[in-house]
Amino acid sequence: MADTSIDVENVLDTDEPELTEYTSESSAPVEPSRKPSASAPGAATGRRKQAIARVRIVPGTGEWKINGRGLEEYFPNKVHQQIVNEPLKVLELDGAYDVLVRVHGGGPSGQAGAVRLGVARSLNGVDEELNRPTLKKAGFLTRDARVPERKKAGLKKARKAPQYSKR
């Protein structure tokens, strides 16, 4: 038979350090913290409910133009202003881009959501590898697919039936 003995001393003499501690958690790779730069223009479309927003961002001073009007003038409600500004705040790009928006359809809430999605998508298009993880984690790149339910025949509205009378 063949000799199958192994020299144990040669196997144990390796240059690798001996592991003394074990953990199930892996250490996250440390990336240099690069701040996103406002260097390129971007454009995208955002939709929510019945609203459609076409958004263009260009490096600038942070000026907003929505259908030819300012942000405070077009969205007087502070909640809507905050919704629209969220993607820029998350990326710490307040005042870095001028935002030009054409929005139609729907109401104020749907339009604000459409503009937010458009801004997030255009920022994603500017620098995908840097901006996408942050925007994705915040949920700004996901289209809210909920739309009004259609009216059905024989009903007054989508679900409201005429009053039932037994006699």
Q: Is the pLDDT of residue 157 over 50?
A: yes
Q: What domains are there in the chain, each with its CATH number?
A: 42-138 (3.30.230.10)
First to last CA, the chain: 102
User: Cα separation of 108 and 112, whole Å?
Assistant: 6
34 versus 83: which is more confidently predicted?
83
Q: How confident is the model at residue 144 (pLDDT cuts 50, 70, 90)?
A: very high
| Per-residue confidence (pLDDT) for residue 127, from 0 to 100 | 86
| Per-residue confidence (pLDDT) for residue 128, from 0 to 100 | 85
Question: Average per-residue pLDDT in the chain?
Answer: 85
Q: Is the pLDDT of residue 142 over 70?
A: yes
User: Cα separation of 52 and 107, whole Å?
Assistant: 11
Q: For 91-107, how does the pLDDT look when each residue is reduced to its tens digit (9 = 90+)? A: 998 888 999 999 999 99
| Per-residue confidence (pLDDT) for residue 154, from 0 to 100 | 95
Q: Is the pLDDT of residue 20 over 80?
A: no
**What pTM does this model have?**
0.73
Q: Where are the beta strands (DSSP E) in the chain?
A: 42-48, 51-59, 64-66, 97-104
Q: For 54-101, how does the pLDDT look when each residue is reduced to its tens digit (9 = 90+)? A: 999 999 898 999 999 999 999 999 999 999 999 999 999 888 899 999
Give the range among 31-40, 91-100, 137-146 with minimum mean pLDDT. 31-40
* 3 state DSSP class of 59: strand
Q: Is the pLDDT of residue 21 over 90?
A: no
